[in-house]
Each structure stands twice: as C-alpha cells, then as structure tokens.
Homo-oligomer: A and B are copies of this chain.
Amino acid sequence: MKRDVFFISDRTGITAENLGDSLLTQFPNIQFNRTNIPFVTNEKAAQAAVLAIRQSKKNGVEPIVFSTLTDMATQTIIKDSCAHVFDLFGTFVEPLEEALGTESSHKAGRMHGIGDTNTYDKRVHALNFTLGHDDGLSLRNLNDADIVLIGVSRCGKTPTCLYLAMQYSLKAANYPLIQDDLVGSTLPKSLDSCRGKLYGLTIEAEQLSRIRKERRPTGEYSTLSRCQWEIARAEKLFIEEQIPFIDTTTVSIEEMAAIARRDMKLR
C-alpha cells in the first residue's frame, strides 16, 4: 500500500518538495503517493488542506506532511490535522535566530517570490542568451557567455545549459562538435574568443546511440560505430586542447550543472 505524503507551503512548495523528496529517497522500499498543496496563505486554505489530509487518513494509515509554512496560525491548523507533520521551516528558525543574534521576520513567501527586479532580470537575460546560443545557433557575443559547453550532438548540452541559466542565472551557450571539427581535430576558429570558458561533455557510445535512435531510427547518425568514432575524436580534442570535461552517462542534469559550475569556478 502506498503511503500518502503531503507537501504544504505558503508559496510554490518547491522547497518542501525538494527536502521532503530527498528524505523520502532514504526509504526505497516504501511507495509514496505525493500531493503538493501550494499557496496556503490563510486559515481557510489551511483548513482545506486539513480536509484533504483527513480524507487520506480514512485509508487507515497516518499520512506524512512536510510543511514549510512560516505563519504561526496556519502552521497550528496543519499540526492539528492528525497527520505526522514535519515542520521543515519552524524547526530551524529559532536556533537560527539564536545563532544570528536577531529575531526572524516571520514573513511568508519570501523564497521563490519575485525578489528584487535585478535578480529576476539577470535570470531572464541568462535564459534569453542561452536560448539564442543553443546548438551553435549564434556565435555572436560568445565572449559574453559565462560558460560554453561543447560536445557531440545529443550528449546533453542543451538541458544542462538551460539548467545553468534557470538555477544559477549563468549565460550558458553551447556548441556542437560537427563532422568538420572532428575530422580536423582542431577547435573551430569561432571559439577562440571564449577559450577559457569551454567545458566539454562526453557520454558512453551505447547511450548516445540509444538517444539518437529515438530521434532518427535509421541512418548512419545513430549507429553505434558512428557514435564511438565521434566520441573518441571529441575526447581526443578535449585532452589535446586541455578542455576540462565530464562524462554525462550516469549524471543528472542538476549534477552536470553543479559540477560544471564548480569546475569553472562560477558563482
């Protein structure tokens, strides 16, 4: 039987889902049925959430609730819901007040709010830059990039770039290594202006072939031998040109982004 889990927050629920999910992965033998209840900003919304939780309890098993509510009144209502409530936020606020020697504002919804306009603009600029420089679309202003991912077609450059822009507001461009680059074993001239920003991605040939076959089931492009050849040439190029690179085969998008950010010392 699946165990019901609720994520309750006064904003998006992303923080509650993030830590909650992370804790639940420590219990791989239990199946969970997740419900996100965002924007619980007043007592009425909290009571509606309690109703949903009580409904779930009728199945006999106590539901788990992860809450990041900051407001005392709504938090109290949720705590009376007969579920096992984990107060992800409140648990740390008081010790943090002590450590910092000041009271907290107890204001709801500061995370994932629009925050200051500067930060928002920076992020949207980064996203626009990344979209405009996807797949070698434009080589203009490549020296404005914070990082330029290079690698063979379908090795994960685009999602990693988008994540770098979305999560860290980094202007991430990508450049696909095509036939000409791989035969010649030299970096294209157009990358000269961003030499120190290059970061290589590689991948196992079997996985690349599988991914490419989904796109184009037939033809040279997705054959294992073609993938092997391209990857071997690309890795040789990375080594000769001293470009740092990672193997993306068993690495998630978040991890690739975090590793690239660390390796390239980007803030």
Q: Using CB atoms and an 8 Å cutoff, list the residues of chain A in contact with chain B.
A: 3, 11-15, 18-19, 21-23, 25-30, 36, 38-39, 62, 64, 68, 70, 84, 86, 88-89, 91-93, 95-96, 99-100, 102, 104-107, 110-115, 120, 123-124, 127, 131, 134, 158-159, 162-163, 166-167, 250-255, 257-259, 262
Contacts and interface: CB of A to CB of B under 8 A. Distances in A.
Given A18-B18, A38-B258, A107-B26, A112 B252 contact: yes
Nearest to A110: B25
17 contacts: A11-B255, A12-B258, A19-B68, A19-B89, A19-B92, A21-B111, A23-B92, A27-B102, A27-B104, A30-B102, A38-B258, A39-B258, A91-B92, A112-B254, A123-B159, A127-B159, A131-B134
Contact of A127 (B107, B115, B124, B158): B158
A92 B251 CA distance: 27
- What copy number does this chain have within its complex? 2
Contacts of A110: 22, 25-26, 28
Contacts of A252: 112-115, 120
A26 B254 contact: no
A183 to B, nearest CB: 28
Residue among A111, A166, A250, A262 with max Cβ neighbours from chain B (10 Å): A111
Contact of A111 (B22, B89, B106): B22
Given A25-B110, A70-B26, A105-B27, A99 B258 contact: no
A105 B254 contact: no
B123 A253 contact: yes
Contacts of A29: 102
A162 B26 CA distance: 29
A123 B246 CA distance: 21
Given A107-B26, A166-B166, A39 B259 contact: yes
Nearest to A3: B100
Contacts of A26: 70, 93, 96, 104-107, 110
Given A28-B105, A86-B92, A258-B38, A15 B19 contact: yes
B113 A12 contact: no
Contact of A255 (B12, B70, B166): B12
A159 B124 contact: yes
Enumerate the 6 nearest inter-chain pairs by beta-carbon distance, A residue then B residue, closest first. A25-B110, A12-B258, A22-B111, A26-B104, A112-B254, A84-B99
